[in-house]
Amino acid sequence: MKTNIENMKNKKVLVVGFGKSGIAAAQAMLKLGAEVSIQDSKKENDVDANLITYFRGRGATFFLNTIPPDVGVYDMLILSPGVSPELAFIQEAESKGAEIIGELEIAYRIGRGNYIAITGTNGKTTTTSLVGEIFKKSGRKTYVVGNIGVAVISASADADATDWLVTETSSFQLETTRYFKPAVSAILNLTPDHLNRHHTMQAYGAAKAKIFANQREDGYLVINYDDKECFKLSSACKAKVVPFSSNEELPFGAFVKDGRIVIADEKKEIVDICGVDELKIIGVHNLQNALAAAAISYFAGIDRETIAEVLRTFAGVEHRIEYCGEINGVKYYNDSKGTNTDASITALKALEKNIIIIAGGDAKGQEFDGFIKEFPGRVKEMILLGRDAHLIQEAADRLGFENYIYCKDMVECVNKAYEIAEPGDSVLLSPACASWDMYDNFEQRGDHFKECVGRLVR
């Protein structure tokens, strides 16, 4: 079911958050004839003046570094992913009858395309990119959108009924959905993250589970069988549940058999895809991403040959254990997308040993004991930076890991790593924290790391 979002003429809409998704949502609402206001915590001097001029010229009103005096006048609030629905003025607007939704929901209501929706604590970007490549290779007109960096609404408005939107969806985007219904959904894993926003793992899991809330028997949910807390979510799903596992052979779903990625389909026939050793992306986590991508694509109707060809050639995504080069026998890896402890543990396991790790930033309410417990036999030295680095140090002290130093910024971190590294070591930026204390986003942080590594050879 889709509501008649096109009937927005003269409706009063407040777009909260003026990043990529907010800008795209505001443009879409203006095209539909809505009276648009835009709210952001930034001051006017911190916002692109050309954007302000553009939107004011089309009738939009701005509330920068402030909130509207009367939120009760709005018919709808469209929240950007980083905006908490628990903010007082949003709660007040909802109590006065405003619909509270996000850009993903608006995009779904406007567009006519078919959705593949992928979520999980980790692996979303890699899996979304991989599925996008498979769909493109199959000849389908495909848009790769969402939390991966492209606003969904920027593509959905142009999508035809035969087009596909391969969409990376975060818990923040999903919690403001109402009618969103993908053809195939996927939950890759579920580990603690964003607990400063969701407060409990139960609430976090419930937000992720909204990805399949509107699916029925004609849809598919691809979900991690090895992650038992994650797999429990599928008990509430009305779509066909397609498990994937890197540990066990399954009667239905995607798994590893005799060193091969295979799918047991609905006819209980085994479909061979490719050898595990043919994958270019490293680590068990990437094997799971490949299994999920194969299952998503196969049950969306793509042939095994196309799936296999892309799995064999896909080299990974930027900022996720991204190889940045070798200097004097030392390899450098950018894992800036490791914004939580589980993601960084995954990177440690992929590189295995002789690691000098750069960590720290915005801790997002996490604890770091589990992170430090993965260091023995893997991490030689930890270089700490950022606002909440002391929390990582405290965990290290509790667990007896003494090889750490503090640096004031990324330049100093990279230079110190270069100074202490020996041939055979790997220098890994995997902060286990968000970037917001020092950078606008993890991409900016990763780019700065790569820039600093590049300077080492000049």
Binding-site residue ranges: 120-126
Rounded Cα distance between 244 and 253, Å, is: 6
Rounded Cα distance between 107 and 112, Å, is: 9
Instruction: Give whole-number Cα distances, 213 to 227, 240, 349, in Å.
Output: 20, 13, 34
Q: Which two tokens stand for residue 369?
A: 């004991």
- For 97, left (φ over 0), alpha (ψ -120 to 50), or beta? left
Rounded Cα distance between 278 and 276, Å, is: 5
Residue in 111, 105, 171, 170 with CA at minimum distance from that of residue 143: 111
Please give the annotated binding residues for ATP, written as ranges: 120-126
DSSP character for 362? B
Looking at residue 110, its amino acid is I
Q: Which two tokens stand for residue 71?
A: 């939120």
DSSP character for 434? B
Residue in 205, 199, 247 with CA at minimum distance from that of residue 230: 205
Element housing 332 (H / E): strand 330-334
Looking at residue 159, its amino acid is A
Rounded Cα distance between 281 and 317, Å, is: 9
Query: Residue written as tokens 């406007």?
Result: 110
Q: Which two tokens stand for residue 40?
A: 């952001």
Q: What is the 3-state secondary structure (H, E, C) of 260-280?
A: EEEEECCCCCEEEEEEHHHCC
**Three-state SS at 313:** helix
Distance of CA 411 to the CA centre of its chain: 27
Residue in 123, 240, 96 with CA at minimum distance from that of residue 182: 240
Rounded Cα distance between 117 and 119, Å, is: 7
Beta bridge partners of 262: 255, 272
How far from each other are the two terminal CA atoms of the chain, in whole angstroms?
A: 58
Rounded Cα distance between 256 and 291, Å, is: 8
Rounded Cα distance between 172 and 334, Å, is: 25
